[in-house]
Structure 1
Amino acid sequence: MFRSTKLAAAIAALSVGLAACSPNESPISQALALGPAQQTGENVVPPERLPNFASLVEQEGDSVVNISTTRSAKAGMPQFPGMSEDDPFFEFFKRFAPPGARPGPGGPGVPGGPEAPGSDPREFQAQGLGSGFIISEDGYILTNAHVVADADEVTVKMADGKAEYKAKVIGFDKRTDVALLKVDATNLPKVTIGNSSGVKVGEWVAAIGSPFGFANSVTAGIVSAKGRSLPDDSYVPFIQTDVAVNPGNSGGPLLNLKGEVIGINSQIYSRTGGYQGVSFAIPIEVAMDIGKQLQATGKVTRGRLGVVIQQVTPELAKSFGLKDSSGALVASVEPGSPAEKAGLKRGDVILKYEGKPVESSIELPRVVGTTKPGTTTIVQVWRDGGAQDIKVVVGEIPSEKVAARAEQAPARTANRLGLVLNEMSPEQRSQTKSTGLIVQSVQGSSAKAGIREGDVILAVNDKEVSSTEQFDKLVVQSSAEQPVALLVRRGENTLYIAVKPNASERVG
């Protein structure tokens, strides 16, 4: 009887609900039409519409060009000639070519790659594809350096697919991956140059280019991050996006919703060779600065201090008596460099450059690089527990030098910080022009801090060491509450590593 009463009430309620709906509308569709705000009475922000990129493409699309290159090369596999990674068929041959005939840098059948056994090298025309955009009506074009470097011939095709020009490479800069081209034409459509500094993470952006040779293709996404630093690219604060960028997109513009160019699409992060949601663009300010220098002189000059720097970790900041981990720690000073002449020392922490705070070590190479060589500037450093200003005459970046590596000496043991150390032989000291202790093995807190086998310990808490006894003494003398700052040479570079030893490691 009770169940029957409840069932009758439910049917009655449903009948009332159905009567409230329009004849052609179900209760569900009516609820959806009302929306959450009307159902609950809450103030809900209406969803934004997705951006329409049609006007952007119409406005700037004609200024984006397709770039094709050829260069003479030798290969051992004529049936699979070498090709650049921007070639539309690169990924196909990479996956399906037989063993020994893989395309791409370092593989058989490409310039500089090993030749297949029994094959005779033969010359062929290697081809590459990329994108670019016109920055002036008289034919100057920006693209990536890796698109045109070493090319014998560069051809630029306009967006309409009809006009085609032979391009001259005015110059390129491999450090920033920017190149400047020139075609003999006038009244060309040019892009609108924007400013990447005002771009916000999460903002919509679009890319136009020629992925796999498909000219004037448009993809869109958002800005994922700003100021990214990539390996071997310390001079570029990359814009990271999730815009689909594929081989052939290199050198094309990254645009905001106003149709302004804010970057040059340059790199992707991928484990497959194709797009995986992580793309990087060179900020347009960096590219335009390089372009202006190339147009004026055909080369790029950069300022230098002559120091090797590293990030200040919280542990290192504590060991140096700093309030926070901002700044750039000087790990070494090059002999005869502007830094040495000015009085900068290993162990200094650069806090300000030209009066502006240095938030991290990533920033310093960029700001120094943009300083005109010969300029006198003020560098504020933290030294001996206090800040002081030092005048430095900025030099110019020289050609790269290769330093000798230290060899292993006969093993000697030491039980400090979990390290087994070897003393340098006189020959090694003479060869490296330094003293120090070679790490034979590492464990415990030193391993956790990042010390590696083969590292050379040069100093403990900024005091040079040349013997294991000296090392042990300095470690024992250090404060139990402070991490031990080890100055380490790794390969051709030096860096500081803070090690906080366990109590068992400190007593030895």
Structure 2
Amino acid sequence: MSNAAKGEAASGRHADLFRRTARAALILGGLAIIPPSIALTQMHPANADQPALLQDGRPASFADLAQKVAPAVVNISSTHRMDGSGADGMGPDGPGDLPFAFPPGSPFEEFLRPFLEQHRRGFGQDGQRPVRPRNATSLGSGFIIDPAGYIVTNNHVIEGASEITVTLNDDTELPAKLIGTDPKTDIALLKVETERKLPSVAWGDSDKARVGDWVMAVGNPFGLGGTVTAGIVSARGRDIQEGPFDDFIQIDAAINRGNSGGPTFDLAGNVVGINTAIYSPSGGSVGIGFAIPSNLARDVVAQLRENGTVERGWLGVEIQQVTPDLAQGLGLDEPRGALVANVDPASPAGQAGIEAGDVILGFDGSAVKELRDLPRLVAAAKPGDKAEILVLRGGREQTLNATIGRMENDAVVASAGPAPESSGGIVVSDVLGARLAPLDDTARQRFGLADDAAGVVVADLADNSPLLEQGIRPGDVIVKVGDRLVSKPAEIAEAALKVRDSAKPVLLMLVNRDGRDRFVAVNLKDA
């Protein structure tokens, strides 16, 4: 078996493959059972700051750049203690350490079955295979940011490890201490002790990385050791739904399992990203990798180094994406901003006067172009700081002032959940295709509504109701129509007639389900 094959086989359990609307991203760290230690050729620093360029701007070679930065890139292995219960596939129910394998239906299957059963059970007096703890090792990459021995990697590379070992470019192995982790951004900071100054690399400015710029990745794919690949920045601002602060740089430099935590360099040898995940239906590189931007990572690492933890700002709102229909109903010229679905009255947002139905267009001087901009901006603010928040309310912009709070535990600037799933009344609205009932005791009992619920309940819907297109179903409570609270079914039916015949036939409603509020925009053009 080749070294590459052994390295891949040693990877064992890898991080989860996840799919999002015809996409799949694979976290790059791997889990191996006693993997081989493989190191490649040592590289020495060069004096060139960046590679020579051809007339068309392409690098003539990446060799000088690789020699310059490779000594600061390390291999990371972290030991995990497995209990041997079978959860790792190595217990009585898993394949264990069988000395051979044969295809199903083989003529040897029946002949060897008694031996295999005995092997699986073990030779204990109780007929059960002894439970033996095992060591498993997660393989990944990292890079030195300080000659004193501070090393950056991914949290998922070392998460839950009982022992962490760093292998330098010259094959020196050093035990590493965990300084701190930030699971929300998948970043970890390690420290190794050594009497000599270690080679290090500097942070670059990821905001200056443009689509089409050359980049180079260095890491430890499949446990092979220092490996250099090159490509370009393919896209910016990718959200792969890995966390609340997703803002990945997409690159096409080949990265694979084990590259996790390794750096992406610009042509000057500065770190502009931390390789973290790949799109991979098969598990191997297909030229779509994702790196954490250096400008996000640098601030996280600085806090981990100083405090061992990361402190983030908190606003206290639930927000949702502004869709084209919602934009029209809210009076926006285009979909932009973050629509506030709910506000904690005791939160900084509540104290600042932010209300459900507001559209947050700006935060402390930065534009909020879409929903995911706001959580990152708020999280980056320091607790106690003052922030100006630009909101759209009733078609007019106004500025509110908030004192940013401190995020506790898992609290974040939350996104409202997904649109409600699609499924007697006093008023029947032909425009809405709905039977609307007052929220009385009968309705509360029938639909299991809370005693403090207020508004008008949707009792039934026609098959062609435009409310179905927005995921509204019987039992949902309509709290507001436009910016007006409603308590009578007739109020909603009249508003629907009026909006249908207007120049902008979009009815904006605040709908509550199971105690959660969400805005929907119902297009009544063809109603």
- TM-score with structure 2 length normalisation? 0.72
Change over 3 Å in CA distance of 1:223–1:417 after alignment to 2? farther
Amino acid at match of 1:168: K
Residue 348 and residue 56 in structure 1: after superposition, are their counterparts in 2 closer, same or farther (change >3 A)?
A: same
Matched, 1:230 2:240: yes
1:486 paired residue number: 509
In structure 1, the residue matched to 2:495 is 474
Query: 1:97, 1:259 → 2: CA distance?
Result: 50
Distance 1:266 1:499 in 2: 40
- Specify every segment of 5 or more residues in structure 1 that has no aligned partner in the other structure, as ranges: 1-44, 83-95, 99-117
Choose 1 or 2 for highest CA Rg.
1
Q: Is residue 2:91 matched to residue 1:72? A: no
Report whether the alignment pairs 1:425 with 2:441. no
Separation in 1, partners of 2:130, 2:436: 51
Cα shift readout 1:310-357 (whole Å, capped 9, x = no counterpart): 222333222122233332211111232111111100011112211332
Q: Distance in 2 between matches of 1:228 and 1:79?
A: 33
Q: Check conservation: 2:237, 2:247, Cα contact below 8 A.
A: yes
Q: Aligned pair 1:496/2:506, yes or no?
A: no
Contact 2:348 2:404 in 1 (8 A): yes
Corresponding residue for 1:316?
326
| Deviation, structure 1 residue 464 | 4.2
Deviation of 1:274 after TM superposition, in Å, equals 2.5
Q: Does 1:184 align with 2:193?
A: yes
Asked if the contact 1:308/1:493 (under 8 Å) is kept, the reply is: no
Assess, with a 3 A threshold, how the Cα gap between structure 1 residues 56 and 81 changes in structure 2: closer, same or farther: farther
Aligned match of 2:364 in 339, 354, 369? 354
Counterpart code for 1:160: D
Q: Does 1:245 align with 2:264?
A: no
Specify the SS of the correspondent of 1:230.
coil
Identity value in percent = 40
- Contact 1:458–1:486 at 8 Å: present in 2 too? yes
Q: Which runs of 5+ in 2 are unaligned?
A: 1-53, 92-101, 105-127
Tell me the CA shift for residue 488 of structure 1. 4.2
**Could you tell me which amino acid in structure 2 is paired with residue 222 of structure 1?**
I
Alignment length, in residue pairs? 425
Q: Greater relative contact order (Cα 8 A, min sep 6): structure 1 or 2?
A: 2
- 2:4 maps to none
1:275 match: 285
For 2:242 and 2:475, locate their aligned partners in 1 and report how far apart those are by CA, in whole Å. 22
* Post-superposition offset of 1:183: 0.7
Deviations 1:17-44 (A, max 9, x none): xxxxxxxxxxxxxxxxxxxxxxxxxxxx
Residue type at the aligned position of 2:481: V
Give the TM-score of the pair, scaled to structure 1: 0.74
2:394 is aligned to: 384
- Cα separation, partners in 2 of 1:49 and 1:356, compared to 1, 3 Å: closer
Q: How do 1:453-464 and structure 2 match up within 5 A?
A: 457-464=478-485
Q: How much does 1:151 deviate? A: 1.0
| 2:72 corresponds to 1:63 | yes
Separation in 2 of the partners of 1:57 and 1:492? 56
Change (3 A) 1:244 1:491: farther
The one-letter code of the counterpart of 1:353 is: F
Match of 1:394 in 2: 404
In structure 2, C-alpha distance between the alignment counterparts of 1:97 and 1:395, rounded to whole Å: 61
One-letter amino acid matched to 1:174: P
Pick closer, same or farther for the CA change 1:499–1:188 going to 2, 3 Å. Answer: same
Could you say which structure has the higher helix fraction? 1
Q: How far 1:260 sits from its partner (Å)? A: 1.1
Instruction: Indicate if the aligned counterparts of 1:70 and 1:128 stay in contact, CA closer than 8 A.
Output: yes
Q: Quick check: 386-395 or 313-322, which moved more? A: 313-322
Q: Which amino acid aligns with 1:460?
A: V
Structure 2 match to 1:293: 303
Root mean square deviation of aligned Cα: 3.6
What residue in structure 2 maps to residue 197 of structure 1? 207
